[in-house]
Chains A and B, each alone.
Chain A
Amino acid sequence: MMSLRKQLVSRGPRLALALCVLPAFAQSPDQIEFFEKHVRPVLARNCQGCHNAKVKSAELDMSSAAGFAAGGQSGPLVAPGDPVASRLLRVVRYDERLKMPPGGKLKDEEIASLEHWVKMGAPWPGAAEAKTTRPAESGKDFTPEEKSYWAFQPVRRGDPPAVRDDHWVRSPVDRFILAALEAKGIRPAPAADKLTLLRRATFDLTGLPPTENEIAEFLADETADAFAKVVDRLLASPRYGERWGRHWLDVARYADSTGNDEDHRYPYAWRYRDYVIDAFNRDLPFDQFVREQVAGDLLPGPGGAPLNRRGIVATGFLALGPKAIAQQDKKKMLYDVYDEQVDVTSRAFMGLTVACARCHDHKFDPIRTKDYYSLISIFASTKSFSNAETHVSKLLYTPLVPENEYRAFRAHQDRVAAKKAEIDDVAETEVERYVGGLAPKLSAYLIAAREVYGKSRAEQEAAAQRGLDAAILAKWVKFLQKPAGEAPYIERWQQVTDATQSQVAAEYQKGFEEGLTEWNTRLRKWRETVRRMQREMNMPPPPKPRFEAETNPFFQAVYFGGGPFAVPEKERETIFSGETKTRLAALRDELKALEAAAPPEPDMACAVQEGEPVEQPVFIRGDYESHGEVVPKAFPAILTRGAEPPAVRGSGRLKFADWLTSEDHPLTARVMANRIWLWHFGEGMVRTPDNFGTTGERPSHPELLDFLAARFIDSGWSVKAMHRLIMLSSAYQMGSTVSPEANSVDPENRLLSRFHRRRLDVEEMRDAMLAIDGSLDLTMGGTLQSGFGTDSENSNDRLSLRPEAVKRRMVYVPLRRANLPPLLNLFDFGDATTMAGKRALTNVAPQALFSMNSEFVLERSRNLAGQLIAERQTPAERLEAAYLRTLNRRPAAEEKDQLLTYLNRFGERFGKSETEAWQSVCRILLASNEFLYVD
C-alpha cells in the first residue's frame, strides 16, 4: 500500500505518451497577444537561459515553437488544453522531484498565466510549421577504434618470445619479462637470497611470516626444487585461502552490514566470506567461482540436488552491497541497488565501468545506455529484499535447507506468534472494557481537575465528590497543567471559565469517545484478521495498527503513553479480573511450551533470489520517471559483436554467468590474470585492475597478459596453477634492489627489472604480530557478530569489533560498514563499500603512533620478551630468536653488538628490568621498516 502512495506522491500521473503534435487548436490574435505578453517573457526570463537551441540543457530547447513542441528527453512539456497532464506546470509548481526554475519558484501569477495558456491550447505563433522531433536515440554505431580496442579483442595464444639470456629463464613468464628488459638494455636484478624469498612467498600466500622451523627447514633443503616445495606447502595450508580469499573480498566490497543510513547487520554475510576462503583453498575453478557468485542459486547442487547450498551462499556477492534501506523513495532505492550490482559485477569480472552509462552513453568507452539498462534488467528481475516497501526495507534471508524443512520451522514460528497474539487479544479486550468504563467520566475528571489546580481543592475530596479515582485524577491534574506549547490540544481547556467549562468538557469527552470507538474498531478488525490469517492461511500475523495522532491528538495523548487514561503495558495486570489473570497464566504456559519446542533456526544466507522478470525501459538521464525504449536482457554490444540477445527465462542471471565465463570472453580471464599478477607483485600489468576501459591504463606486457589468460583457461581456470606458474619464475624470485641503469630507464619499474618492495597490508601486520607472540587463534570460519538489525543511535554496538581486541585472523573480524575499526582506516584497508582491486598506500604519522603507543603492540612486545627470556639462555641467543621471529633472518654481528649494548644502556639508564629492556628491543623490531616491508 505504502509504495503506491509513495509513487503517487513522488510521481504524479505520467504524460510522456500521445501528445506529440502541438497546436491542434487554432490560434486567435487574442491568444497570440496573451502569449507575447504573459508567457514568452516568463519563458525568456526563467527558462531560455539554459533551454535554448545552443545549450539545450536536458536536450530541451524552449526558445522556439519547434523546440518547445519537440519537448525534452522526458517527452512533451504540455498537453494542450489539459493543465493536469502538463508536466511543465507540475515542474514550475514544484510539485515534482524536478523543480524548475532551479533558482526559485515562479511568482503565483506567472504560474497562473502559464496554466491559462495551456488551457487555451498553448498557442505559439508560427507553431504550425514546427516539426516535432524526438531526442536522439542512444546506441550509435561503434567506431573502428572502439571495435579494435585492445581489451575487447579475443585473447591471443602467442608463443613466448626468444631472449638472449636463456639461463635466466625458468618459466615461460620469464621470456616475456626478459625480452622487454633486453629491448631496453636493462638487466634483471640478481635473485633474492633464500630467506628474503621465503619471507616474501610466505607473506604472499598466507599473510603470515615463516616460523623458525620453516626457516631452518628451507635453509637445510639444498635440492633444486626446494622453493617449489615451499610453494606447494604454502598452497596446501588453510592460511592460503584466508589470505587470497581476503584479496577477493576487497573486490567483492565485502562487509557485514548495509552501511548508508541504517547500517543493518547482514547476519549471515560470514557464510559468503567462508565460501570465498574455501573456494581458494580448494582451488575451485575460477569460472565456476564466477558462475556461482552470479547465479549459484540457479545451478544444480552437488549430484544434481535441487538445493545448491554453496551456490546460494555464493550469491552473497550480489546481496551484500551497501544499501540505503531507509530511503523513502523506494523505487530510487531499488534502482540504486541494481546499479550497485551492475557496477560491482562488471568491474569485478570484466574491468568495465558499465555503471558510467546510467544517465548517458559512456563518455569514454563504447558502452551505451542501452547496454547498462539491459544489465539492469537482469538485476531488476532479481530479489535482494524480502519486502522493499516497508518503511525501512526488509533484507532477504534465504534458507539453506529444503523448503519443507524451512516451512516447518516457519509454521512453528507462526504458532508462537499466534499464541502471543492470543495473549495480547485477551489483554486488549480487558483494556477496552476498562477504558470504556472511564470514558463517560472524562468530563467529570476535567472539571474536578480544574478545581484542584485552579481552586486548590484537595484531590481526595474532589474525587470523592464525583465518585472518581483519586490516582487517576492526580494524573489529570498534571496532564492539564502542561505548558500549552507542549500540548496544543489542551489549550482550549486551559482557557475555559466556570461558565463554559461544562460545555467544553462535554466536547472533550465526545472527542475522546470518538477516538476510542475508532481505535477499538480498528483493533478488533486487526485481531479478527490475525485470527483469520492464522486459521485459513497459516500466515504470520500482520503488525498491530498504529493510531494516527493527527486525526485526534487529544485522544492520542490521553489514551497512549503516560496519558491519564493510559494503561501502560507493565501495569495492565492491575486492572484485570481474577478470571482473566488465570486465563492469561494458562496461555503464557502454553506459549512457553511452544517456544521450548521450537526447532532451531535452519542455516540461512544473505543471498539473492529470482524475482519477477521485468520489462526494463531505458531511464532517460537516469530518471526513473522518464522512460525510453524497452531493452532486452542482454550483454554489452561491443563484447557480443552484434549477436542476438539471448533467449532468457527468469532474470537472465544464469545466461549472464555463462556468458561471463565463456572461453571466448575477452575480459574475464584477462582481468583475473591481471589481479593475480598484481597481488603477487604489488602492481598489475594493467595498473588499474578494475578498469580495462580507455580511461584505465594499457598493459605493460600485453603478450604476457594474454599468455597468462590463455594458460588460466587451459589449466581449467586453476588459480593455484597460476601461482605456481608465476612464483616459480625468475621474475618472482628477483631481489628488490634497483640498479642505476634500471632506475634511469624505468624508474616506475613497469618492466619489472626488480621485485616491488611492498608494505604489509594491515591484516598481515596485525596477524603477523599475533603469530609472532603465539597468540593468534587459527580457528576458521563462523561469525563473531550476533543479532539482527541495527542498534540505538549512540550505542557503542554500532562500532565494529576492534581487531586489537580479538585474536582470530583479521579476515574473520566482522565489518560494520558505517563504522569500520579505526585501525583499518589508519592502514589503508579501504572502505569495504567501494570495490578495490588495489589498495591505496599512505605513510602518515598516526600509523607510527600505532607502532609506538598502542596497547596492542605493547602487549605483543611484552609477550615476545617474556618468551625470549624463558626459552633462550644468553642475550645473544635471545636476540637471534627475536630476529628470526620478527625479521625472519639472523642478526649481523654488528647488529648484535648494537642492540645488546642498547639493551644494557636502556636498562641502566632508566632503571628498567631485564624484561622491560627486552620489551623495548622487541618493540623496536616490530616497529622497524624491515618488519613492515617485504623485499
Chain B
Amino acid sequence: MDPLRAMYLRKDQPVSRRGWLRAAGCGFGYLGMAGLLSAGENPLAVRQPHFAPRAKRVIFLFMHGGPSAVDTFDPKERLTREHGKPLPMKRPLAFSDAPPGPLMKSFWEFRPGGQSGIPVSDLFPYQREVVDDLCVIRSMVGEGVDHGAALLQTFTGSSTFTRPSMGSWVVYGLGTENRNLPGFITIKPALSHGGAKNWSSAFLPGAYQGTAIGHSGLKIDEFRNEPIEYLVNRGLTADEQRFELDMLQNINRRHQALREHDPQLEARIEAFELAFRMQLEAPEAFEVEKESEATKKLYGLDDPVTADFGWQCLLARRLAERDVRYIQCTHSYKWDQHGQLFKKHTENAAEVDKPIAGLIKDLKARGLLKDTLVIWAGEFGRTPVSQGGDGRDHNPYGYTIWMAGGGVKPGFVYGATDDIGYHAVEDRMHIHDFHATVLHLLGLEHERLTYRYAGRDFRLTDVAGVVAKKILA
C-alpha cells in the first residue's frame, strides 16, 4: 500500500493519541459502525416498533387524478338499471360548478376473479388474476374535492395545513435498515397538487424527507443515470475520490482533536464515510436493466405502453428487497376524467395493470409480499353521475383502494358504498383510519407516534383514526 495512504488511513495519525481516544470514547469513530451510533445522533437509526409488525415496509402505488371506483372494483347494478336517470339525492359538494349529469353506468363489464370471486372490471384483467392477494377496500372517505386538498390529505392527513407525510412519519418511527439508501423514496412524484409537500417532512427533521427519483414530468432516461441528486461524481474515479476523502477525513480529525468532543463534528465525519459507501452501492439498486428478461417481461418493460410504470414497479421491488422502508410509485396525473372517461381510463389502465399485477406476483414469488404492504390508491374516486356527457367528477365520499401483503386479509372485500356508489355507508374508512391502519400494520400505534412542535404533540392522524381491525390477517 502507498505509505502515504497508509498514514492517512491510520486512525491515530497525525492526531494525537489522546485526541483519538477521546473521539473514540464518545460512542463512534470515523469508521462508523452502524451499531455504535446512538439514536440520538443518527436520526435514521433503526428503532423498535411499538408492537410486533405485520409489515416491514410499504410500496404505495399512487394513481394520480382519481380512478373511478364504479368502473374498476365497485360494480353498481343500479347504475346500469337507471342509466340516464337523474341523481336520486342531493349532490354533495363537487368540484364542478355545473349541475350534475344523470347516473351513468360503467362502460366495462365486471367479472369475478380467482378463488375469492371478487369482481374486477375489464379495465384491469391482470389485477383480476391476482385479486386473491388483494384486500379491496370499497369504503374510503376523504374530505378534499379538489386534487390539492385530496393529495395532501392522502399523504399527510391534513388537507389544509402543512404536515409531515406518511412516509416521513414511518421513517421517523422505524428508522431505516439500509443505510446506503434513503429510507423514504418516491419515484416520479407529481410536482402539482402540493408537489413536494406530499413527501415532505414538514416540521420533522429534514432527514425524514422523502427522496424524489425524477418527477412525473420526466422520462426515465432523463434521470436514470443519477437517480439521487449528487450521487455521481463526474470528475474522479472511486480510487481518486477515496484518496481525496482520506485527506479530508484526516483534516477533519485534526480539527476535531483540537476541540473537545463534539457529536456534530463526529457525525459529519461519519456522514462522509456513509456517503462514500452510498455512492458506490446505491446505484446498483437502480440498475433495473440487470433484471432477467422474464422479470422485465412480467412488468411489461418490453412494451412501450407499460414500460414506464413497469420500470417504477420493478424499481420498487428492488428497493423493497434492499429494505427501503417506504417506497412510492406515481402514475402521473392521468386519471382525472371529467370527460372522455372511456378512452382515457382505458389508456391509463393499460399502462398500469400489467406492471401492478407483475409486482404482486414477483413479490409473492420472492417471499417479499408477506412483509411488504402494497397499497393501490388514487386521491379520490369519481362520481356515479356523468359530467360533460362522457366523464365523471371527483368523489371523495366513497371510493375504492386496495392493499395487499403485509398482514392484510387476502381475497377480502371491506366496506361498501350505497347502491349507486356515491357515499361509503358500511365500514367507512376515513383517510385518518387508513393512516392508523397502515401504521398499525407496521407495528406503530398511531396515537403514540407523536412529535412535539409549536407547543403540542402532533400525529399523522391528528385527533382521529381508528384501526380497521377487520382487514388484519
B332 and A924 form a contact (CB under 8 A): no
Q: Which of B145, B233, B259, B270 contacts A328 (CB 8 A)?
A: B145
Is B292 an interface residue when CB atoms closer than 8 A count as contact? Answer: no
B162 and A322 form a contact (CB under 8 A): yes
Is A432 an interface residue when CB atoms closer than 8 A count as contact? Answer: no
A901 and B191 form a contact (CB under 8 A): no
B90 and A95 form a contact (CB under 8 A): yes
Is A867 an interface residue when CB atoms closer than 8 A count as contact? Answer: no
Bound-state CA distance A328–B4 (Å) is: 68
Bound-state CA distance A390–B251 (Å) is: 60
B232 and A793 form a contact (CB under 8 A): no
Known: A104-B427, A261-B149, A842-B205. A550 touches B193 (CB 8 A): no
Within 8 A of A (CB), among B301-336: 332-333
Shortest Cβ gap from A691 to chain B (Å): 5
Partner-contacting stretch, out of A180-188, A419-427, A564-572, A848-856: A848-856
Residue of A nearest to B244 (CB): A920
Interface residues on chain B, number (Cβ under 8 Å)? 118
B203 and A326 form a contact (CB under 8 A): no
Partner-contacting stretch, out of A312-320, A699-707, A826-834: A826-834
Known: A794-B215, A849-B278, A909-B2. A844 touches B196 (CB 8 A): no
Query: Which A residues touch B425, using CB under 8 A?
Result: 94, 104-105
Within 8 A of A (CB), among B252-295: 252, 254-256, 259-260, 262, 264-265, 267-272, 274-276, 278-279
Query: Which A residues touch B44, using CB under 8 A?
Result: 844
Query: Which B residues touch A118, using CB under 8 A?
Result: none
Residue of A nearest to B150 (CB): A261
Query: Which B residues touch A10, using CB under 8 A?
Result: 93
Bound-state CA distance A261–B148 (Å) is: 4
B97 and A391 form a contact (CB under 8 A): yes
Is B223 an interface residue when CB atoms closer than 8 A count as contact? Answer: no
Bound-state CA distance A352–B263 (Å) is: 32
B455 and A364 form a contact (CB under 8 A): yes
Using an 8 Å CB-CB cutoff, how does the interface string of A749-775 with B read, 1 for contact, 0 for none? 000000001010000000000000000
Within 8 A of B (CB), among A518-568: 546, 548-550, 553-554, 556-557
Query: Which B residues touch A842, using CB under 8 A?
Result: 43, 205-207
Using an 8 Å CB-CB cutoff, how does the interface string of A89-105 with B read, 1 for contact, 0 for none? 00000110001001111
Within 8 A of B (CB), among A346-380: 347, 353, 356, 363-365
Is B395 an interface residue when CB atoms closer than 8 A count as contact? Answer: no
Bound-state CA distance A372–B386 (Å) is: 43
Query: Which A residues touch B265, using CB under 8 A?
Result: 757, 929, 933
A833 and B252 form a contact (CB under 8 A): no
A103 and B196 form a contact (CB under 8 A): no
Within 8 A of A (CB), among B192-240: 192-197, 200, 202-203, 205-207, 209, 211-212, 215-217, 228-235, 237, 239-240
Shortest Cβ gap from A170 to chain B (Å): 25
A324 and B97 form a contact (CB under 8 A): no
B456 and A324 form a contact (CB under 8 A): no
Is B472 an interface residue when CB atoms closer than 8 A count as contact? Answer: no
Bound-state CA distance A928–B262 (Å) is: 15
Known: A260-B197, A844-B207, A848-B274. A105 touches B268 (CB 8 A): no
Is A690 an interface residue when CB atoms closer than 8 A count as contact? Answer: yes
Is A465 an interface residue when CB atoms closer than 8 A count as contact? Answer: no
Residue of A nearest to B64 (CB): A793
Bound-state CA distance A822–B259 (Å) is: 32
A794 and B342 form a contact (CB under 8 A): no
Q: Which of A103, A263, A696, A826 contacts B427 (CB 8 A)?
A: A103
Query: Which B residues touch A499, using CB under 8 A?
Result: none
B195 and A263 form a contact (CB under 8 A): yes
Within 8 A of B (CB), among A828-869: 828, 831, 833-834, 840-855, 858
Shortest Cβ gap from A930 to chain B (Å): 5
Known: A818-B194, A834-B202, A844-B44. A550 touches B387 (CB 8 A): yes
Q: Which of A327, A356, A798, A930 contacts B255 (CB 8 A)?
A: A930
Residue of B nearest to A928 (CB): B251
Bound-state CA distance A853–B217 (Å) is: 25
Is B92 an interface residue when CB atoms closer than 8 A count as contact? Answer: yes
Shortest Cβ gap from B91 to chain A (Å): 7
Q: Which of B145, B239, B275, B428 contacts A848 (CB 8 A)?
A: B275
Known: A9-B92, A353-B456. A831 touches B98 (CB 8 A): no
Bound-state CA distance A853–B275 (Å) is: 10
Is A210 an interface residue when CB atoms closer than 8 A count as contact? Answer: no
Query: Which A residues touch B332, using CB under 8 A?
Result: 793-794
Known: A848-B268, A927-B248. A696 touches B205 (CB 8 A): no
Within 8 A of B (CB), among A902-933: 902, 905-906, 909-910, 912, 920, 923-924, 927-930, 932-933
Bound-state CA distance A418–B387 (Å) is: 33
Query: Which A residues touch B212, using CB under 8 A?
Result: 822
Partner-contacting stretch, out of A133-141, A302-310, A481-489, A596-604: A481-489
B194 and A852 form a contact (CB under 8 A): no
Is A898 an interface residue when CB atoms closer than 8 A count as contact? Answer: yes
A548 and B98 form a contact (CB under 8 A): yes
Within 8 A of A (CB), among B362-378: none
Bound-state CA distance A99–B397 (Å) is: 10
A259 and B455 form a contact (CB under 8 A): no
| Residue of B104, B160, B427 ringed by the most chain A CB atoms within 10 A | B160
Q: Which of B107, B234, B250 contacts A855 (CB 8 A)?
A: B234
Bound-state CA distance A932–B269 (Å) is: 12
Bound-state CA distance A119–B296 (Å) is: 66
Query: Which B residues touch A549, using CB under 8 A?
Result: 98, 101, 339, 387-389
Residue of B nearest to A910 (CB): B240
Residue of A nearest to B160 (CB): A336
Known: A9-B93, A486-B340. A326 touches B146 (CB 8 A): yes
Q: Which of B102, B162, B390, B456 contacts A487 (CB 8 A)?
A: B390
Is A634 an interface residue when CB atoms closer than 8 A count as contact? Answer: no
Using an 8 Å CB-CB cutoff, how does the interface string of B152-176 with A read, 1 for contact, 0 for none? 1000000111100000000000000
Is B298 an interface residue when CB atoms closer than 8 A count as contact? Answer: no
A261 and B146 form a contact (CB under 8 A): yes
A261 and B147 form a contact (CB under 8 A): yes
Shortest Cβ gap from B56 to chain A (Å): 22
Partner-contacting stretch, out of A23-31, A64-72, A574-582, A736-744: A736-744
Bound-state CA distance A524–B194 (Å) is: 40
Query: Which B residues touch A430, using CB under 8 A?
Result: none
A332-B160, A840-B205, A905-B2 given. 13 additional CB < 8 A pairs? A5-B97, A9-B93, A104-B425, A260-B149, A353-B454, A353-B455, A553-B389, A794-B190, A794-B192, A818-B195, A831-B203, A845-B275, A924-B251
Report B's interface with A, CB cutoff 8 A.
Answer: 2, 4, 14, 43-44, 90-95, 97-102, 104, 107, 139, 144-149, 152, 159-162, 179, 182, 190-197, 200, 202-203, 205-207, 209, 211-212, 215-217, 228-235, 237, 239-241, 243-245, 247-248, 250-252, 254-256, 259-260, 262, 264-265, 267-272, 274-276, 278-279, 332-333, 339-340, 342-343, 386-390, 397, 415-416, 418, 423-428, 430, 452, 454-456
Q: List 29 A-B contacts (CB under 8 A).
A: A9-B93, A104-B416, A104-B425, A105-B418, A262-B148, A328-B93, A332-B160, A488-B389, A488-B390, A549-B98, A550-B388, A553-B388, A556-B389, A736-B259, A794-B215, A798-B195, A799-B191, A818-B192, A819-B191, A820-B196, A828-B206, A833-B162, A841-B264, A843-B270, A847-B268, A848-B276, A852-B272, A905-B4, A928-B252
Report A's interface with B, CB cutoff 8 A.
Answer: 2, 5-6, 9-10, 94-95, 99, 102-105, 259-263, 322, 324, 326-329, 332, 336, 347, 353, 356, 363-365, 391, 483, 485-489, 546, 548-550, 553-554, 556-557, 688, 690-691, 693, 695-696, 736-738, 743, 757, 759, 790, 793-796, 798-799, 816-820, 822, 825-828, 831, 833-834, 840-855, 858, 894-895, 898-899, 901-902, 905-906, 909-910, 912, 920, 923-924, 927-930, 932-933, 935
Cβ-closest 5 pairs across A and B? A261-B148, A553-B389, A818-B195, A794-B217, A485-B342
